[in-house]
Each structure stands twice: as C-alpha cells, then as structure tokens.
Structure 1
Amino acid sequence: MAAAQGAAIQLRLAGLQRATAIPVALRHHSTSCSSRTSSSSSSRYYFAVVNGGLLHQVGGQHHLHLHKHKKPASCIKSASSISTARLFSSNAVPVQSQKGADREDESKIPKPPQASQPQMMTPPELAAELDKFVIGQADAKRAMASAIRFRWRRKQLNEQQREDCNPRNILMIGPTGCGKTEIARRLAKIVDAPFVIAEATKFTEVGFHGRDIESVMRDLMEAGIKMVQKKLEKEYTPMALEVVDEKLLEALLGDLSQDTDRVTWRGHLRKGWLDERTVFVDVPVTQTQSPGGILGAPSGGMASGSLELGDIYRDDRDLNRLTSAMGGGRGVVRTEKKKLTIREARKKLLRAELDARITQEELIQRALKAVEEDGIVFLDEIDKIVSPKGSYGPDASSEGVQRDLLPIIEGTTINTKYGNIKSNHVLFVCAGSFHAVRPSDMLAELQGRLPVKIKLHPLTEGDFYRILSEPEFGIIEQNVALLGTEGATVEWSECGIREVARLATEMNTYIENTGARRLHTIVEQVTDDLSFNIAEYKGKKVLIDRAFVESKTSTIEIDKTARGLL
C-alpha cells in the first residue's frame, strides 16, 4: 500500500462501528492498489485499518470511523507515519501492500502446545523418581513402585484374567515423620492417579454417629472428578483457544475479521500486545447451581461427607453445561454483552468454551474409570483402631471399623451421587506406627487383605542432612527463596545445615520422635528473627552457619536423662 507522510492515525480499538466520520487530510502518493468502483458512483471506494482504526475513503475524501462511545479527540494521536495501515476494497477484497514485512505467515504464529501422554515407568524408574523427593526408605519405595507397575501389567491381560488379579495392598509400619505419607502422595502425583488420604480415627462403625468407612470412596471419587476435570481442560484448551481467538478478532475488527489480514492481528493477540484493549463480548450469565443429584445419583440425601453439585466446580465459574444437562435450559445458555479488556475476556470466553465442550457424561465416565482402575487410598493411623489382644469394652472406632473396612478392601460396590463405584482394584495403602499395639493385633481377615508388609526405619542424622540438602526445592531452598523475595540474599553453610540435622536427631531421641517434621520446627526457630526483620537486610547478604544456628537455638532445653521414643 502507499506510504503516507504527515498526519498519522492511531485508534484505540473497542469494536468498530461506523458512527462517527472525521475528514482527514493526507498527502497522497502513487500506489498500485486495485480498488473496485461502486456501481452507483464513479468514485473509488476503499478503506484501511490504521493501527486498530478504520480509515474510509469515498472518492478523494478520507474519513475516520470511530466507536460511537469514543470521543474523536481521545482516539487520535499524532505519529510520523501510518505505514502499519492495511488497505481493503469496498467489497472486503484485500489490497496488497508494498511492505510485506508487516504481514505474518499463518505458520509462524505460535500454536498452543499439545498435551503429551506420559509413559508408564518401570519400578526402578519410579523408585528413582521418588529419590528426588524422599530420602531413604528404599524398601517402601520398591514395594510402592512394584504395586503401581503391577496395575499396569494387569491391564495388559484379557478381560477375564484381569478380573481375577487383586491389587497388591500394602501395610506400612514405621514411626511418625519417616516418609510413609510422602511416598504415597508423591507416587500418586507421578503416575497421575486419583489419590485420597484419610485418617482411620475419623471413622466410626456403621450405625454410630460419625463418618462411615464407605465415605472414603466418595472422597476418592471427588478427587477423581477434579483430576479428570483438569485433564479434560488441558486436552480441550488448544481447540478452545482457537475459538476464543476468533471471537476476540470478531469483537476487535467486526466485519474485517473475515479477511486474511486477521492473521497479523491474531499474531498480535497471541503475543499479548492487545491485552489491555477493551472489547464488547457476549459472556455466559453466572447463576447459582441448584442443589440436586446428577446422573446415577440417588434422589435422597447422601451420607455425611458428600458434596452438593455446586461444590464440584469453582465458585467463580460461569454458567456451565451441567445446568442444561439437569434440565435447566436444555442446552440454551443465557449471555450478556460486557465491556472487558481482552485479558479478562479471554479468561471468561475460554472458561465458557471449556464448559461447553466438556460434557457431564464424559466427565463422570472417565472419572469412574480412573478411580476404579487407578485409584489409591492412603489410610493413615491404622494402628489407632487396633486394640491389644485380650482387651474388652465397646469402641465404635476400633474393631467395628476394621470389620467395615474388610469388604471395601476385598472389593464391593459403593453407591455415590456419581454412580456406583467398584473398589475391587483400588490400591489400599494402610500405615501406622504400631507403638502400643502390634500388626498381629489386627483382625486376621484384615491382615490377609494387606499382603505386602513393609517396615520403615527411623531417620538418622545423615538422613536429616540429606533431607535438608538434596531434594528438589527442599526446606532450605524454600526458606532461601521466600526470604529472597524481600531483596535479601540468604545462604546456608554446610556446617549450619549439619548443626540443624544434629539438633533434630537429639530432640527426636530425648524429647519426642516427630521424624522429619522436627526439621521444620528448627528451621523456623533459626530464621524467626530474620523473617520478622527481613526489611533491614534488603540488598544485604546473610550467612547462616553453625554459630548462627547455635545462637538461635540456645533456648531449647534437652533433658538427656530421659529418652524419647525411637
């Protein structure tokens, strides 16, 4: 297109509506653009997009078409050139520009990344991955990794053989703070499986006031719903972003959005250059979800611990597809036009697109399959519902809970508001310290349903040092990073870290053994004053060595005449 010298036009784009026209004087240069002639007039008619505005020419006179809500004076700025303008003929046929550098090729515009499916790891690979986050306890890592791989092997069998393979349920025996929970949690995160932690002491026998053991499966299903929801959103996001970009381009350019020149604008849009521009977009009307069940749900109330429909979805979510699925609208979603920045509009439009694409049936079916095939239940403090042999007396949280747990671990069907869940192939990991009782005090039937028994060892001073220094973004790294946000440079010397490890070992030996949790207590005490007065150290370097640790922990009294539990 022809370059124009002199006055340049830059418009703040808020949707193009031809409500205001301003004559503009421009010095013309020769051009080879091919505009069309109107049938009702011999004058040539063409228009151009000038930095987001519409420059319209009828014959030899130029006009600027601005949004009806914008004042002309606030929409025009001076500049040295309008070389970024695009020319179009009256019937929206694009006119070639002399400067092709401004036009971007479709293939060069960055596309949203496609989600990749993780490959199933072998037991040694799973154990090596756990080594990055959990120190020691090699036997427990091996057992958990083998149990996870066993599930993969089962899926390779035919359907009849598959049903006869029982999961390798595990009983972990070890003191508090030795890594029982962390191993299970990290492994579930690595393999991306539905995972729930429950304390056995929170459950009571069926018929007594409190939560029954079946509610743990409902919790697992809720965890599966959230996990699958994230997976589906990640899966559909690339396609939804394409639609959102088209809607934003339509709001930005109006009728011009159908022209090939939108390639350039799409590139600007994805690079974030237009995020602060305002547009008018149609967004779904937010409304409160009505309580009630969904597919497969009983009409009456559920047992304690269940969720209402609205609890599944975030409070800030726009009207989603579940409303229409329950009969509230039959697929019709009310919308309203709002003036938003492109940054805000993109979030709302993306949310609406994802809600429209993810159906209720797909979400529930995939969640049911994930829970039944890959679900992991970690039942902690199992020793607290075990009574020593020979003891008598009613206890609604003891042997009765063990008996209620038997059919769930063995395999049964549990009714939830999402449908019936089979627990036959859910992996159960039970854990306890077993200080006051022994594993043999458990019901014989329950012992038989936990075939893999692993003993975890108390952590040593060397283990504490490795916990502080080796794991990715461990306790020390977290502390340094958090204090660094205030502008201070904090460094821990090796002797300082070893002093913390030594002190933790002493306190666990002579006071109470809390395992690795003791490290958090000591690190917090060491950095307490520093954290409170960190503003005074802005731009300074602070070294935490042995002397620093000793000065901050001198108030800790350790009675070495008494010895705590190891």
Structure 2
Amino acid sequence: MINNNLTPKKIVEELDKYIVSQDEAKKNVAISLRNRYRRKAIGDENLRREITPKNIILMGPTGVGKTEIARRLAKIANAPFLKVEATKYTEVGYVGKDVESMIKDLLAVSLMEVKDEKIEEIKDNFYNKVVEKMAKIINPLDSLNDEVKNNIMENIKSGDLDEEIIEIEKKNTNKGFGNSMIEVIAPENGDINEAVENIISNLGGNNTPKKVKMTVKDGIKYLLDEEINNSIDMDEIIPEAIKRAENDGIIFIDEIDKIAERDGLSRGEVSRQGVQRDILPIVEGTTVMTKYGAVKTDHILFIAAGAFTQSAPSDLMPELQGRFPVKIKLKSLEKSDFIKILTGVEYNLLHQYIELLKIDNVELSFSKSAIDRIAEVAIELNENVENIGARRLASVLEGVLKEIMFEAPYEKMTKIKIDKKLVDKIFKIEYEEENLDKYIL
C-alpha cells in the first residue's frame, strides 16, 4: 500500500517510465492515489470515514494508455486491481453477470495477494524441513546417518538432483501457490471468486493419497506448498484481504461509454440504464455480502474509461456522473509518442524483441530511420484500417521480424540490423497485395 514517500510527483515519475504523454491523466490519478494516504493519516475516525475517493473517468480512443494508467497505478500502490467491462454486466433480473460480482472478484484478488505475501513470509522457514523430507524419499533407509543425509541435502540444494525421478505420495489436488497475479481481468463467464473458493477449499485437503512420479525439483515445490498450505490460517488472511479490498482496491470499468443512453437508439436495448442504476450504489458506497464476509465499497477507487466517440459522460445518469467528479480527456498518440513507446519506456517493445531473439543467438538492432519508419507505418495503418493506438506497434513489429524469428535459432551469434529499407520492403509488399486484414486486432 502507498507510503508517505510516494508523493504525487514521484507517482508521476513512476508512471512516466511506462506511459508516454497523457500528463494530465497521470497527474490526476497520482493525486487520487496520494489522497488515500492522506485520508489514512487523519486521526479523526469519523472524518476519515466521510472522505471518499474522487473517482475518475478517462476519455479517449483505444490504445492511448487508459488501461495502462490504471494498471500501473495499482502496481505502484501494491493494491488489489480488477479490470472489468461495463458491457459484460446485465440489469438485475436478466441472465448474465450482476454488478456486485465485481466486488466479489476484487475480494478474490485481494485474497490471492494477501495469501501470496504470507507464503513469501514463511516459505523459508519450511525449506530445510522439506529438503530433509526429500532426502529421505531419495534414500529411504531408516538408518540414514547424518553424513549421508547431509550430503544428499546439499546435492538437492545445489540442484544436482533436480531432474532425478522420485515417487511421492500426493495427498491433495492443489497444484501449489506460486506468486499469483495481483492484476486480474474478470472472466466473461463465472467469476474469479469461484476459482479462489476452489483453491482455498483445497488448503489442507485430505483426499485419498496416491503415489505419483515427478522430478526432485517438482517434488520440492509440491512438498513446500503442502507444508505452507497446512500452516496458513485463513481466519487471519480473510479479514486482512477484506480490509485491503475496502481501503486500497482499484476497479477499472472499461467501455462505460457503451452503457450510456444515446439519442436515436432504441430504449428497448437490454439494461443500458438498468446497468447504470445497478452500478450507482456500488460506486456511491454500499455493503456487498460475499462468502467471506461483508465488503464495504465506500473507499474503493473506481476508474472508468471509454472512447466516448458516439456519446459523452453527460449521457450517463446524472447521479452516476456525480460519482465520477474527475473527467480527463486523453489525447491521440502521434509519431513522436510511438517512437518514445518503442524506445523510451522501460521494457519497451524493441527491448523485448532484442532479448527474445538473443536467446536464439540473434544480436538484433534497429537503425534510427527504421524506428521512425515503423512508427510511420503504425500511424498509416491506424488511419487506413482501424485506429487501435499504440497496440498497432506490436503487429507492425511482428510483420517486420516474422522471417527473422522463423529462421532462428542460429548455431552461433548472428548480428542482424533492421533498417528503413527492410521495413519499406516488407510493407510495400503488404500494401501492394492490399492484405491489411491481418492488422485488425
């Protein structure tokens, strides 16, 4: 969760590492995030209860950074984050997902987050115990003396026995708990909560044991998970997860413009205004009952987004508009922005492809003119096919590097430089064949 040192300026600096342009949006979300710390620092509990988040609507075409701003904000704050699409919900009484499921899903994300943190805290305490268990599995002699046992344990720890096949008794069906993703996109059918319930129901399960073969490496992971799962007390985790969801949770509601009522369209369409009515109490502040307890939504931060090409925020219900007091219009990206996305942000696309191909002995590089041309081609395709913003860059790079990625790997390191001539050649062929459908995502 956010700390005192994370000022709005520092939050923007962090966002700048991954998101190009959109300074106004970054400034506003940074203020919203900082206000969470300010609220928690207030000593008067009654006043603290009254201070609610100032929810945000981001307006702009696809691919300009709306989702990424919310996603990165949640990572900076180490907060439970859920992305949902407004169009996936239906009015109460209709078949489909009801809006309360977004709160249940957010709690599920929070449960996974708190559980993973607990696992990180305690797993080192069990490692030696698990290695000792594995040593006895590898050499099951009852009279295993300390010297032999210690030698086997050292070989296990060093990885020398990782691929050796052993037989182990498997007591339950859960597959272990590595670091779960904090950032989750709600599935179209069902909800995350159901999946987490299935996971939690397996903690300390007593299914009939069965012997299975696996590598020592996988056996260590299984035994470690088993020890951890048996030690985790969900009665401690659940209250913390609820508290974190209530006070730190961020829900990103995409495509909110598509549930706005627009002039000239049939009012018979299922649930546009009905979904708005159902979302309203969630955003205003209500209590949602879940399997794990009541979750209050008063201090969850809601960030909504939409292109708003055929509607405006003013087409939403007045009450719902009032619950999103901060409205920010994001600008369309230009060629210079695309170049920054390719080269200036952390873990940019060029860096990703360079590192990927390095695995197959390709030393890939791009000339400045090639980078300029890739950005130009992305702009042209957005104008001529469909405007998907920065997402176009990935499809253009895939086209440029397709043959290189197909021919790799090489026996020895091979230098390949992408220049403007190659980019022009590849996309000249595409334009001549008028085969642009592949660039529609």
1:478 aligns with 2:363: no
**What aligned pairs does 1:286-305 form with structure 2 within 5 A after superposition?**
286-287=172-173, 305=191
CA contact (8 A) 2:361 2:410 kept: no
Residue 513 of structure 1: aligned partner: 387
The residue type paired with residue 192 of structure 1 is N
Cα distance per residue 1:478-512 (max 9 Å; x no partner): 22222232222221111100111122223334443
- 1:277-316, aligned counterparts within 5 Å? 283-287=169-173, 305=191, 307-308=193-194, 312-313=198-199
Matches within 5 A, 1:130-169: 130-158=15-43, 159-169=45-55
Q: Hey, what does 1:542 align to over in structure 2?
A: 416
From 287, 302, 310, the equivalent of 1:413 is 287
Structure 1 residue 123 corresponds to structure 2 residue 3: no
Q: Deviations over 1:218-238 (max 9, x none)?
A: 221222222222111111111
What is the rounded CA distance, in whole Å, between the counterparts of 1:276 and 1:521 in structure 2?
Answer: 39
Q: Is the 8 A contact 2:170 2:212 kept in 1?
A: no
Which sections of structure 2, spanning at least 5 residues, go unmatched? 176-188, 435-441
Corresponding position of 1:272: 159
Instruction: Report how far residue 255 of structure 1 moved.
Output: 5.5
CA deviations on 1:89-127 (whole Å, 9 max, x unpaired) are: xxxxxxxxxxxxxxxxxxxxxxxxxxx998762221121
Distance 1:441 1:450 in 2: 13
The structure with more radius of gyration:
1
**What are the ranges of 5 or more consecutive residues in structure 1 without an aligned counterpart?**
1-115, 290-302, 324-328, 560-566
Pick from 74, 80, 86 the counterpart of residue 188 of structure 1.
74
User: Aligned letter for 2:19?
Assistant: V
Partner SS state of residue 377, structure 1: strand
Look up the equivalent residue of 2:157 and give its one-letter code. Answer: R
The whole-number CA distance in structure 2 between the counterparts of 1:391 and 1:382 is: 16
Q: Which amino acid aligns with 2:257?
A: D
Question: 1:551 aligns to what?
Answer: 425
User: Residues 426 and 537 (structure 1 numbering): CA distance in 2 closer, same or farther, change over 3 Å?
Assistant: same
TM-score, structure 2 normalization: 0.84
Cα displacement (A) at 1:192? 1.7
1:295 aligns with: none
SS at 1:355's partner residue?
helix
Query: Which digits, 9 at most, give the CA deviation of each residue in 1:251-284, with x for residues without a partner?
Result: 6685666x69977775554333454667787x45
Equivalenced residue count is 417
Name the CA shift for 1:513/1:274 in 2 (closer, same or farther; >3 Å): closer
Cross-structure match for 1:52: none
Partner of 1:217: 103
Give 1:23-172 correspondences, 5 Å limit. Answer: 121-158=6-43, 159-172=45-58
Give the secondary structure class of the aligned counterpart of 1:313: helix
Aligned pairs (5 A) from 1:323-334: 323=205
1:72 paired residue number: none
Q: Is the 8 A contact 1:120 1:191 kept in 2?
A: no
Cα distance change, pair 450–226 in 1 and its aligned pair in 2 (3 A): same
RCO higher in structure (CA 8 A, sep ≥6): 2
Cα 1:215–1:255 shift into 2, 3 Å: same
Deviates more, 1:538-547 or 1:515-524: 538-547
Paired AA for residue 414 in structure 2: K
Contact 2:2-2:77 within 8 A present in 1 as well: no
Residue 209 (structure 1) shift: 2.0
Q: Report the Cα distance in structure 1 between the residues aligned to 2:192 and 2:154, rounded to whole angstroms.
A: 46
| C-alpha spacing 1:278/1:540, structure 2 compared with 1 (3 Å) | closer
SS in 1 for 2:428: coil
Question: 1:538: Cα distance to partner?
Answer: 6.0
Give the letter for the 1:136 counterpart.
Answer: S
Q: What per-residue deviation string (whole Å, max 9, x for no partner) do you get for residues 408-464 of structure 1?
A: 000111122222211111110000111111221211111110011111111111000
Q: Which residue of 2 aligns with 1:227?
A: 113
Give 1:354's aligned residue.
228
Identity of aligned residues (%): 38
Aligned equivalents of 2:280 and 2:212: distance in 1? 56
Please tell me whether residue 206 in structure 1 is matched to residue 92 in structure 2.
Answer: yes
- Is 1:320 the counterpart of 2:207? The answer is no
- Shift of the 542–262 alpha-carbon distance from structure 1 to 2, 3 Å rule, reads same
Distance in 1 (CA, whole Å) between partners of 2:266 and 2:214 is 68
Equivalent position SS for 1:166 = coil
Q: Secondary structure at the match of 1:554?
A: helix
CA distance 1:372–1:537, change in 2 (3 Å): same
Q: CA deviation at 1:286?
A: 2.2
* C-alpha deviation, 1:306, in angstroms: 6.3
Whole-angstrom CA distance in 2 between matches of 1:388 and 1:280: 64
Distance 1:538 1:146 in 2: 51
Aligned residue in 1 for 2:362: 488
Q: Which residue of 1 aligns with 2:184?
A: none
Equivalent residue letter for 1:470: G
- In the alignment, the residues of structure 2 paired with residue 389 and residue 353 of structure 1 have an alpha-carbon distance, to the nearest angstrom, of 60
| Aligned equivalent of 2:377 | 503
Is the CA contact 2:2–2:37 (under 8 Å) kept in the aligned structure 1? no
> Taking structure 1 as reference, are residues 119 and 255 closer, same or farther at Cα in structure 2, changes over 3 Å only?
farther
Given the alignment, which residue of 48, 63, 77 partners 1:177?
Answer: 63
Cα RMSD for the two superposed structures: 3.2
Conserved? CA contact 1:222–1:312, under 8 Å: no
Larger CA deviation: 269-278 vs 172-181: 269-278
